[in-house]
């Protein structure tokens, strides 16, 4: 039995992806869920790593943060999930991750409907196990998430969305750029040299540095190196190799303020990592550098 337009106050809980890029690519799902169920209360259950970005989504009423990590942290998160998920069982829980753990969390929370793909041996934990699409050709992750809505008879109204930049994020970007990249005639170009999963996803740092030098020399570009707190040293090595052609801003922003900074860029050069997809979400053109991952599945859909 498919879902229909929700009544006032009906609560839908979405277990969000664990990664920043996947969460950015889930934006059309949240926008389409909001369009399909305009009177429902839509909440996201997310880890602290992605909560900052999801909190900027205008289609979500609230983000519930589930603490926990590896080992005992995962067990504590499982035991506390009912408290974190709020009082009473939601009308429906939507599972965007494919993991068995996500289904176990949904089962513990309880809901009349638990909707997710029947993968990882978890179908018996779902009230609505959805058959996954064929892997060849691989579906884009945006369409993969939207397939859950379509399986429930809801329209996937948005396959691309633009994330509005909050006033706070815009002010943060203005202050940071006024200090680090004073106004000039050349384009403002971002580079994100880091990525998770080690060297397999990284373009050589020397190549980032050479590109920064070339952009500064030939285009008069002001090049900004972006990254998280763990990537300050890596971005610093690029800046050193670029000989002053790039400014290291790694570690200076948060996920809540990053959209404001990305929206100020003329373009972003990045590997397949979270800020690449956040840039596309705010409408910034991107140059995507793919290594072992499949661009048919996770390439940005923006320009």
Give per-residue pLDDT as tens, 6-55.
456 799 999 999 999 999 999 999 999 999 999 999 999 999 989 999 99
Tokens standing for residue 282: 């705010």
pLDDT above 90 as % of the chain: 77
Q: Does 125 have pLDDT greater than 90?
A: yes
Note the pLDDT of residue 78.
Answer: 63
Sign of the torsion angle spanned by Cα atoms 78, 141, 64, 257 = positive
Least confident of 94-108, 169-183, 232-246, 257-271: 169-183
**Model pTM?**
0.92
DSSP 158: -
Residue where the block lists tokens 């706070």: 168
DSSP 79: H
Strands, E assignment, 133-285: 188-192, 222-225, 246-248, 267-271
Write the pLDDT tens digit of every residue in 190-209: 999 988 766 778 899 999 99
């Amino acid at each position: 039995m498919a879902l229909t337009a929700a009544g006032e106050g009906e609560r839908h809980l979405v277990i969000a992806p664990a990664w920043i890029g996947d969460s950015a690519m889930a934006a059309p799902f949240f926008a389409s869920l909001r369009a399909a169920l305009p009177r429902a209360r839509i909440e996201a259950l997310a880890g602290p790593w992605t909560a900052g970005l999801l909190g900027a989504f205008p289609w979500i009423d609230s983000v519930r943060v589930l603490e926990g990590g590896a080992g005992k942290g995962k067990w504590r998160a499982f035991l506390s999930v009912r408290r974190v998920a709020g009082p009473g069982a939601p009308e429906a829980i939507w599972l965007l991750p494919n993991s068995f753990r996500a289904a176990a969390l949904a089962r513990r929370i309880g809901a009349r409907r638990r909707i997710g793909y029947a993968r990882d041996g978890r179908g018996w934990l779902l009230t609505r196990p959805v058959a996954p699409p064929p892997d060849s050709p691989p579906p884009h992750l945006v369409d993969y998430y939207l397939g859950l809505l379509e399986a429930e008879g809801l329209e996937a109204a948005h396959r691309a969305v633009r994330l509005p930049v909050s006033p706070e994020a815009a002010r943060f970007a203005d202050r940071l750029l006024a200090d680090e990249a004073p106004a000039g005639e050349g384009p403002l170009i971002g580079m994100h040299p880091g990525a998770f999963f080690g060297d397999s996803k990284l373009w050589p740092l020397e190549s980032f540095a050479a590109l920064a030098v070339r952009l500064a020399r030939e285009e008069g570009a002001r090049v900004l190196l972006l990254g998280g707190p763990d990537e300050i040293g890596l971005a610093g090595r690029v800046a050193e190799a670029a000989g002053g052609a790039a400014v290291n801003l790694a570690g200076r922003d948060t996920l809540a303020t990053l959209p404001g900074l990305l929206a100020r860029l003329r373009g972003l050069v990045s590997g397949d990592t979270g800020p690449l997809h956040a840039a596309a979400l705010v409408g910034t053109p991107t140059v995507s550098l793919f290594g072992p991952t499949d661009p048919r599945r996770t390439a940005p859909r923006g320009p």
